């Protein structure tokens, strides 16, 4: 996790260099590691950790460990092939994890996420082989889009979907994969096909995602739903731009297409899912606060400014938009650290409650063991209710500030199915 955060911060630093800001440059080629750090170093490592936690097998952590070493190789400037080799090995580990998940639960959503892991492996393999970077980035894009699409497909099962909806999803994923495959031999056709797949997926998600219902709730469920739905808008923007511009390998249109998806879509998903995934990974509650909306607002506003600068050839708007993109991520990190700290404090203050509750339970259990339950079934039910009331009074007296994200255990669980042990297929960022 720490290496993933280091990759994020370093990738943002390299991104500022690419935008032309005069920040210190550790070495001449540091700006070139922006993409690998953000995709493989940060998001890839975190997805690998989350999958390993969900699978509950120690060897599954080998993948994120390898990508973490790859991140270090990028930062210290080891020989050119070291980082791509480590990242490729780490992505292979994720493919193996998904192979086990698909074998245990061969559903469309697990297959889709498994295809995302394969796309990451292909992209890293092209990078390792010295292929064109725009082709590498296309497969990295497929990795994140397929992973998120598969996760949302899993949760859309909570709604009553028709067979035609599932067939439409399969057709969209097929179009996206065809575009990625064509990208290596006919880049313009491949880029436009990919754009069609991205646009189609955004429309499918906006129509079928459970976020359409949870956005009417309050607290964490509503925040997560707003993040998801706003992210789908940026996915549609990226797909539309890809269709319009076709093959672009550099310049302002290239920047607009990539960051509409990598920033607008992917980071909106990260902002929305972090309060749900972190408790499963860290084992601590992450209380929801209304201040969580701040980085989301800054992200969308600054990204709109950046894309306006790209499409209207206004360099200053592009630069300041990119700078504010980084600010949005920093605000998100600060909010997350504060929420985790508050969760740890609440967890510590509430640690005495389970012990008290256990003593009450043991006392009630000893009475049942003496035959009390058999003779007085109705009375036993009343005593159980009384014990529960005593536990509730104890909690109210000694744990007054329960996390405001307590609905997370209920309704917000319909937004993201990530639990560290309940279901191995889980969900990711």
* Residues 224-234 pLDDT 10s: 999 999 999 99
For the cut 80, the answer to whether the pLDDT of residue 181 exceeds it is yes
Angstrom distance (rounded) from CA 238 to CA 343: 36
d(CA 137, CA 31): 15
Contact 67, 87 (CB under 8 A): yes
pTM of the model: 0.78
Distances in whole angstroms, Cα of residue 13 to Cα of each of 24, 33, 84, 318, 329: 9, 10, 20, 16, 12
Question: Model confidence over 353-364: pLDDT tens digits?
Answer: 444 444 444 444
More confident residue, 81 or 237: 237
In angstroms, rounded to a whole number, what is the distance separating the alpha carbons of residues 100 and 220?
32
Mean pLDDT along residues 152-159: 77
Nearest to 67 by CA among 97, 47, 87: 87
Structure tokens at 135: 């082709």
Q: How far apart are CA 322 and CA 306, in angstroms?
A: 6
| pLDDT of amino acid 392 | 54
Quote the pLDDT of residue 280.
Answer: 73
How confident is the model at residue 408, as a pLDDT?
Answer: 40
Q: What is the DSSP string of 15-55?
A: HHHHHT-----SSTTGGGGHHHIIIIIIIIHHHHHHHHHHH
Instruction: Compute the mean pLDDT over every residue in the chain, rounded to the nearest whole number.
Output: 81
* 341, pLDDT greater than 90: no
Cβ atoms of 219 and 263 closer than 8 Å: no
pLDDT at 187 over 50: yes
Cα atoms found within 13 Å of the Cα of residue 42, Cβ hemisphere only: 22
The whole-number pLDDT of residue 169 equals 93
Determine the pLDDT at residue 159.
66
Q: Give yes or no for a contact between 67 and 49, defined as CB atoms under 8 angstroms apart.
A: no
Question: What is the model's pLDDT at position 54?
Answer: 83
Neighbours of 104 (CB within 10 A): 11
- Indicate whether 369 pLDDT > 60: no
Tokens at 220, concatenated: 């964490």
Q: What is the dihedral of CA 345, 349, 355, 361, to 10 degrees?
A: -100
- 104-153 pLDDT, tens digit per residue, is 888 999 999 999 999 999 999 999 998 888 899 999 999 999 999 999 98
- What's the pLDDT tens digit per position in 58-71? 899 999 999 999 99
Residues above pLDDT 90, as percent of the chain: 53
pLDDT of 111 reads: 95
- The answer to whether the beta carbons of residues 40 and 91 sit under 8 Å apart is yes
Between 365 and 285, the higher pLDDT residue: 285
Assess whether pLDDT exceeds 90 at residue 244. Answer: yes
Distances (CA, A) of 102 to 64, 284, 418, 424: 20, 29, 16, 10
Please state which of the ranges 40-49, 292-301, 357-366 shows the lowest mean pLDDT.
Answer: 357-366
| Averaged pLDDT, 87-102 | 95
Local structure of 176: helix, strand or coil: helix
Tokens representing 337?
Answer: 């650290």
For the ranges 69-78, 160-169, 417-426, the maximum mean pLDDT occurs at 69-78
The pLDDT-based confidence of 55 (bands split at 50, 70, 90) is confident
């Amino acid at each position: 996790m720490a290496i993933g955060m280091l990759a994020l911060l370093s990738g943002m630093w390299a991104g500022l260099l690419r935008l032309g800001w005069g920040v210190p440059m550790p070495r001449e080629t540091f700006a070139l590691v922006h993409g690998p750090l953000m995709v493989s170093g940060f998001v890839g490592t975190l997805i690998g950790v989350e999958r390993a936690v969900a699978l509950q097998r120690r060897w599954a952590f080998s993948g994120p460990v390898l990508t973490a070493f790859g991140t270090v190789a990028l930062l210290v400037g080891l020989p050119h092939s070291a980082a791509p080799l480590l990242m490729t090995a780490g992505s292979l580990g994720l493919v193996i994890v998904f192979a086990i998940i698909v074998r245990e639960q061969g559903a469309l959503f697990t297959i889709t996420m498994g295809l995302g892991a394969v796309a990451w492996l292909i992209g890293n393999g092209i990078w390792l082989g010295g292929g064109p970077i725009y082709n590498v980035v296309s497969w990295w894009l497929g990795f994140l889009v397929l992973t998120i699409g598969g996760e949302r497909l899993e949760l859309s099962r909570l709604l009553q979907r028709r067979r035609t909806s599932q067939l439409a999803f399969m057709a969209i994923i097929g179009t996206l994969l065809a575009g990625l495959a064509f990208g290596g031999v006919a880049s313009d056709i491949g880029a436009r096909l990919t754009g069609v797949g991205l646009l189609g997926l955004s429309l499918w998600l906006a129509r079928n995602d459970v976020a359409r219902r949870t956005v009417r709730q309050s607290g964490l469920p509503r925040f997560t739903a707003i993040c998801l739905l706003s992210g789908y808008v940026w996915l549609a923007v990226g797909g539309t731009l890809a269709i319009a511009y076709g093959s672009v390998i550099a310049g302002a249109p290239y920047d607009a297409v990539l960051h509409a998806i990598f920033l607008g879509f992917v980071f909106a998903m990260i902002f929305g899912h972090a309060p749900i995934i972190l408790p499963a990974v860290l084992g601590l509650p992450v209380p929801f606060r209304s201040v969580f909306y701040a980085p989301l607002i800054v992200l969308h506003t600054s990204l709109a400014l950046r894309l306006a600068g790209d499409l209207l050839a206004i360099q200053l708007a592009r630069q300041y938009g990119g700078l504010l993109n980084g600010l949005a991520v920093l605000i998100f990190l600060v909010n997350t650290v504060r929420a985790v700290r508050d969760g740890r404090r609440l967890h510590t203050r509430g640690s005495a409650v389970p012990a008290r509750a256990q003593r009450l339970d043991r006392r009630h259990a000893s009475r049942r063991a003496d035959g009390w339950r058999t003779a007085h079934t109705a009375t036993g039910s009343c005593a159980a209710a009384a014990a529960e009331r005593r536990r509730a009074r104890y909690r109210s007296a000694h744990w007054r500030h329960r996390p405001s994200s307590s609905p997370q255990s209920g309704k917000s669980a319909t937004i993201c199915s990530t639990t560290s042990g309940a279901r191995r297929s889980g969900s990711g960022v």
